[in-house]
Structure 1
Amino acid sequence: MPDTVQVSALERTLTTVNDAANWVSAVAFERGVPREYELRKHTYGELKVRGLGAQAAQHTIKKVRDAYTALKTDIRAGNLGKEGSKRRRKAESKPVAFRLEAAQPYDDRCLSWQYDRQTVFIRTVDGRMRNVPFVCSADALKLLQAHRKGESDLIARDGVFYLVATCDVPEAERYEPDGFIGVDFGTANIATASTASTGYLAAGRELNRYRKRQLALRAKLQKKRTKSAKRRLKARARKEARHAANQNHTISKTIVTEAERTGRGLALEELKGIRNRVRLRKPQRGALHSWAFAQLGDFIVYKARRAGVPLVFVDPAYTSQTCAECGHVGRRNRVDQGLFICRRCGVVAHADRNASHDIATRGESVWNAGRESRVPTTP
Structure 2
Amino acid sequence: MKQAVTLKMRITLTAEDALLLQETMRQFALGCQLVSQYVFDHEFVLDQYALHEALYRQLRTEFGLKAQMAQSAIRLVVGNYKTVQTQMKDEPYTFQDRYTGAWTRCPRDLTWLRQPLQYRQPQLKLVRNRDWSWLQDGRLSLNTLAKRIRVTPHVQGFEQYLAPDWKLGTATVVHTGGHYFLHIAATKELPAVDRTQLENIVGIDRGLRFVLVSHDTAGHTSFVSGKAITNKRAKYNRLRQQLQRKHTKSAKRRLGRLSGRENRWMSDVNHCLSKTLVANASPKTLFVVEDLTGVRQQSRSQAQARRELHSWAFFELEQFLRYKAVLAGYEVVAVSAQYTSQRCAQCGRIDETQRDRQRHEYRCTVCGYQSNDDRIAAMNLVTLGQQYVAGNNRPRFTKEVIG
The answer to whether structure 1 residue 169 and structure 2 residue 182 are counterparts is no
Q: How many residues align?
A: 362
> Which residues of 2 match residues 1-12 of structure 1 at below 5 A?
1-12=12-23
Which residue identity is paired with 1:54?
A: A
SS of aligned partner of 1:163: strand
More deviation, 234-243/40-49? 40-49
Which residue identity is paired with 2:149?
A: M
Aligned residues of 1:172 and 1:307 also touching (Cα < 8 A): no
Aligned-pair CA distance for 1:69: 5.8
SS of aligned partner of 2:276: helix
> Which residues of 2 match residues 119-268 of structure 1 at below 5 A?
119-130=139-150, 132-138=151-157, 140-146=158-164, 147-175=166-194, 176-195=197-216, 196-259=218-281, 261-268=282-289
SS of aligned partner of 1:194: strand
SS of aligned partner of 2:199: coil
Tell me the alpha carbon deviations over residues 311-366 of structure 1, each in whole angstroms, 9 at most, x when there is no partner.
Answer: 33333333323332333444454344443333333344333223211221122023
The TM-score, its normalising length taken from structure 2, stands at: 0.76
Q: How has the CA–CA distance of structure 1 residues 117 and 287 changed in structure 2, closer, same or farther, with 3 Å as cutoff?
A: same
> Quick one: which of 23, 28, 33 aligns to 1:17?
28
Tell me the alpha carbon deviations over residues 37-63 of structure 1, each in whole angstroms, 9 at most, x when there is no partner.
Answer: 455456555555565433334434544
- Structure having the higher helix fraction is 1
Partner of 1:91: 115
SS of aligned partner of 1:304: helix
Give ranges in structure 1 of 5+ residues lacking alignment. Answer: 372-379
Q: How has the CA–CA distance of structure 1 residues 60 and 338 changed in structure 2, closer, same or farther, with 3 Å as cutoff?
A: closer
Which residue identity is paired with 2:334?
A: F
Query: Identity over aligned residues, as a percent?
Result: 27
Structure-2 separation of matches of 1:352 and 1:72: 33
Structure-1 separation of matches of 2:200 and 2:353: 29
The alignment yields a C-alpha RMSD, in angstroms, of 3.5
Structure-2 separation of matches of 1:73 and 1:347: 41
- Structure having the higher strand fraction is 2
Aligned residues of 2:28 and 2:124 also touching (Cα < 8 A): no
Partner of 1:59: 72
Aligned residues of 1:151 and 1:165 also touching (Cα < 8 A): yes
Give ranges in structure 2 of 5+ residues lacking alignment. Answer: 1-11, 95-105, 394-403
Aligned-pair CA distance for 1:2: 0.8
Aligned residues of 2:35 and 2:77 also touching (Cα < 8 A): yes
Structure-1 separation of matches of 2:81 and 2:25: 20
Structure-2 separation of matches of 1:46 and 1:237: 34
Aligned residues of 2:270 and 2:317 also touching (Cα < 8 A): yes
Aligned residues of 1:40 and 1:61 also touching (Cα < 8 A): yes
Structure-2 separation of matches of 1:293 and 1:68: 22
Select the structure with the greater relative contact order (CA < 8 A; seq sep ≥ 6): 2
Greater CA radius of gyration, 1 or 2?
1
The TM-score, its normalising length taken from structure 1, stands at: 0.81
More deviation, 306-315/209-218? 306-315
Tell me the alpha carbon deviations over residues 286-329 of structure 1, each in whole angstroms, 9 at most, x when there is no partner.
Answer: 12111221222222233333333233333333332333233344
Which residue identity is paired with 1:353?
A: R
SS of aligned partner of 2:115: helix
Q: How has the CA–CA distance of structure 1 residues 303 and 26 changed in structure 2, closer, same or farther, with 3 Å as cutoff?
A: closer
SS of aligned partner of 1:91: coil
Which residue identity is paired with 1:244?
A: M
Aligned-pair CA distance for 1:25: 6.0
Aligned residues of 2:90 and 2:293 also touching (Cα < 8 A): no
SS of aligned partner of 1:253: helix
Aligned residues of 2:28 and 2:123 also touching (Cα < 8 A): no
> Which residues of 2 match residues 280-291 of structure 1 at below 5 A?
280-291=301-312
Which residue identity is paired with 2:25?
A: L
